[in-house]
Amino acid sequence: MKILMVCLGNICRSPMAEGILKSKLPGNFEVDSAGIADYHVNEKPDKRAIKTCKKHNIDISHQKGRQFTPSDFDQFDRIYVMDHANYSDVVFKARKEVDKKKVKLILSEAPEPTKDSIPDPYYGDIEDFEKVFQQLDKICTVIAEKLIKDIEVG
Ligand code: 4NP
């Protein structure tokens, strides 16, 4: 089972989501992340994202930015996006209906599903990164439980 996290720049939200979800899943799951834009390809995550995750014992410093490509629809079983703009941008690249069905707004997985977004902390400060971490940590706990159950059921 392969899961892809997508945000705009692939240096703040999706690298954090990748690290957090990975920390909650056994090794038979693969988690990766990508960005809609190509601004930060090959760059490490934002220093504030690395620092915030490190504080919670998650190391994301080895990650490298990459851009989302339509071939990701073939590689991944589920694609979680952080906000509505990401959703439109990813769905726009879908080649067929099955591609579209893989894409979900990450907070739609909450026990009481919402259409809320994970706010972009890029222009914010370290506290905004901590807030994003807490939101992602909560939702990734729910997602990990679901994924593990889905795999057991088969
Ligand atoms: P992310 O945040 O989508 O959570 O990685 C951003 C990072 C960089 C930019 C925008 C959003 N940027 O415009 O460079």
Digit-coded pLDDT (tens) for 6-60:
999 999 999 999 999 999 999 999 999 999 999 999 999 999 999 999 999 999 9
Specify whether 13 is catalytic: yes
Q: Which of 7, 12, 53, 140 is catalytic?
A: 7
pTM: 0.98
CATH code of domain 2-153: 3.40.50.2300
Residue 140 known to be catalytic: no
| CA 149–ligand 1 middle distance (angstroms) | 33
Cβ–Cβ under 8 Å, residues 44 and 63:
yes
Residue of 48, 89, 122 best suited for mutating to test ligand 1, as the one with most atoms within 8 Å of CB: 122
- Across the chain, what does the average pLDDT equal? 97
Q: List all residues whose CB is within 6 A of at least one atom of ligand 1.
A: 7-13, 39, 120, 122
pLDDT band of 153, cuts 50, 70, 90? confident
Q: How far apart are the first and last CA of the chain?
A: 11
Task: Give the H/E segment covering residue 60.
Answer: none
Is 154's pLDDT higher than 80? no
**pLDDT classification of 152: cutoffs 50, 70, 90:** confident
Half-sphere exposure of 144 (CA within 13 A, CB side): 20
Residue 6 has phi, psi (to 5 degrees) of -130, 135
Distances (CA, A) of 154 to 5, 7, 27: 23, 29, 17
Amino acid present at 97: E
Q: Which two tokens stand for residue 30?
A: 């693969």
Return the HEC string of 8-32: CCCCCHHHHHHHHHHHCCCCCCEEE
Backbone φ, ψ for residue 36 (5° rounding): -70, -45
Best mutation site among 5, 6, 12 for ligand 1 pocket (most ligand atoms within 8 Å of CB): 12
Using CA atoms, how far apart are residues 79 and 61, in angstroms rounded to an integer?
22
